[in-house]
Amino acid sequence: MSTSNPSRRRSFTPYFLIAPTLVFLAAFFAWPMVQGLILAVHDDEALLPLVAVASVEGDRTGELSQGAAVEILGQQGNTVEGELTSDLLTEQWFRVTAVGTDGAAVDGWAPETRIRVRDEANDGTPLAGTVRPRLGEGAEPLTDVLAEPNERAEVTGSLDDRAEVEITQVTVLEVWFNVRGESNDGATIEGWAPSRFITTFESGEEGRVDRGSDGEFTLRFVERMFNDRFFSPALRTTLLLMAIILPLQFLLAIGMALIVHSRLKGGSGWLYIFSLPMGMSDLAVGILFFAIFTSNGLLNSILDLFGLIEEPQVFLSADTRGWIIGAIVLAELWRATSIVMVIIVSGLQAIPDETLEAAELFGATYWKRVRYIMLPLLKPSLLVALILRTILAFQVFAVVIALSGGEIVTVLANETFRQYFSLRNNNVASAYAVFILLLSLASSVFYLRIVRTQDELASR
């Protein structure tokens, strides 16, 4: 019914007031979050561009995908003048003079990996050093000295381990490989790429694109998530848990809140007792219930005490999924009902006493007051609690881990964790995270919609 009034002045004061908060959120929360979540559809290292000459300015000849096999056709070390570009792998080469293995004087280049610098000038320029010993079996015993600062250059002599060398010149090289491989569209392409993106095999003739330097948007990870064999069990279990837990939880919470509300005048003892579980972390609660249901746990002890069982029952095993689900439901009810209750209690306290007294006076019994006065007036509180609990139910994790080890019963949050930690698959983990986020958003919008249409119907 709100007929919009075009001449209404908008007040910007609230926007100014929240501006610092928005900046803070954007800088420290939204930005990193987007960075993380974008992983779900973006592969940062998907493509390796090849260029025509061994230089970042070279023209692109094509791209190779990550993991593509390549032939290594050549190698080039570009001398770096002045500033180093952090983008490329660099190597330091020393020009050394020493007495060779055969007693002759040797003059040539050796990489920094072979020479330990023992003496430096005041400005840090290396002056002298020794040849590093080669360790391990089967290692080439001698260190070669080369004509040029390039591993493929001609060998001019060999040095013994720990031979003393004089360093006459230092140069820094960017190492590039000339490679040939098959691009995504099947064409064979050739070009140069910085060596650090390529793993070479033993022979030195062949290698593989280790990772790319260019990103690419892709639904690959989302598809991987959907096709993951744990995806549908995880989704199903999450929804099943929600469908069992939420209705029970709200019934319980409303009951508890009514008890607390009617007793508050006499003291708030019930409130404290009921909200005790809020002080425990979800993992702790999971462990607590594990201790109850485990084969030598409390439940078995009690059953045994009353002579109901001959020997300890195994409740939490692959054959007793039902028991695990039951234990998770109990643990979640025990843990998270109190927060719902607290929200409802605060909603109840916002109802004026006289409103309830009026209802009582006009002949409403307690149940009718609950039905016709309290519940309708609690609608905003219930909505808040419902949205909160639904979002948290999509994220259920620690209790499940504690009670099933995350193997027998799995949930969406657990799959995120598995992909990230066990499988080191950040992108798929991120896809799971985005999926949970979207489910949460959708459910909130859904609830708000329902309430709004209801209100519209009611005010008609």
Partner 1 sequence: MAEIRIENVTKVFGDFVAVDDASITVRDQEFLVLLGPSGCGKTTLLRAVAGLGMADAGRIMIGDRDVTYARPGDRNISMVFQSYAIFPHMTVRENIGFGLKMNNASQGEITSNVEEAAELLHIGDLLDRRPNEMSGGQRQRVAVARALAMKAEVLLMDEPLSNLDALLRLEMRAELKRLLREVKATTIYVTHDQIEALSMGDRIAVMKDGLIQQVDEPSTVYAEPKNQFVGSFIGNPPMNFLRGKVHMASDSVAVAIGGSEIVPSPELRDAVSSFDGRAITLGIRAENMGALNAQEANTVRVQVDVVEPLGAQNLLTVRVGDDTLKVSTHPTFPVSPGDELWLKFPADQIRWIDPDSGEVIAGGTS
Binding site for partner 1 (CB under 8 A): 352, 354-355, 357-365, 368, 372-373, 376-377, 379, 459
Residues 6+ apart with CB under 8 A from 268: 260
In the complex, minimum distance from the CB of residue 377 to partner 1, in angstroms, rounded to a whole number = 6
DSSP letter for 45, please. E
Of the two residues 272 and 372, which places its CB atom closer to partner 1 in the complex?
Answer: 372
In the complex, minimum distance from the CB of residue 348 to partner 1, in angstroms, rounded to a whole number = 14
Beta carbons within 10 angstroms of residue 186's beta carbon: 6
DSSP-based helix, strand, coil % in the chain, nearest 5: 50, 20, 30
Six token digits for residue 190: 């050739």
E-strand ranges in 210-351 read 214-217
In the complex, minimum distance from the CB of residue 372 to partner 1, in angstroms, rounded to a whole number = 8
Of the two residues 75 and 381, which places its CB atom closer to partner 1 in the complex?
Answer: 381
Six token digits for residue 298: 């409390």
The size of the chain, in residues, is 460
Among 182, 193, 150, 188, which Cα is nearest to 53's?
193
In the complex, minimum distance from the CB of residue 238 to partner 1, in angstroms, rounded to a whole number = 34
Angle at the Cα of 389 from the Cα atoms of 385 and 394, rounded to 5 degrees: 155
Beta carbons within 10 angstroms of residue 441's beta carbon: 11
In the complex, minimum distance from the CB of residue 453 to partner 1, in angstroms, rounded to a whole number = 16
Where helices occur in 350-419 by DSSP H, the ranges are: 353-361, 366-369, 375-394, 398-404, 412-417
Of the two residues 260 and 356, which places its CB atom closer to partner 1 in the complex?
Answer: 356
In the complex, minimum distance from the CB of residue 360 to partner 1, in angstroms, rounded to a whole number = 5
Of the two residues 378 and 428, which places its CB atom closer to partner 1 in the complex?
Answer: 378
Six token digits for residue 50: 């090849």
Of the two residues 16 and 362, which places its CB atom closer to partner 1 in the complex?
Answer: 362
Of the two residues 95 and 369, which places its CB atom closer to partner 1 in the complex?
Answer: 369
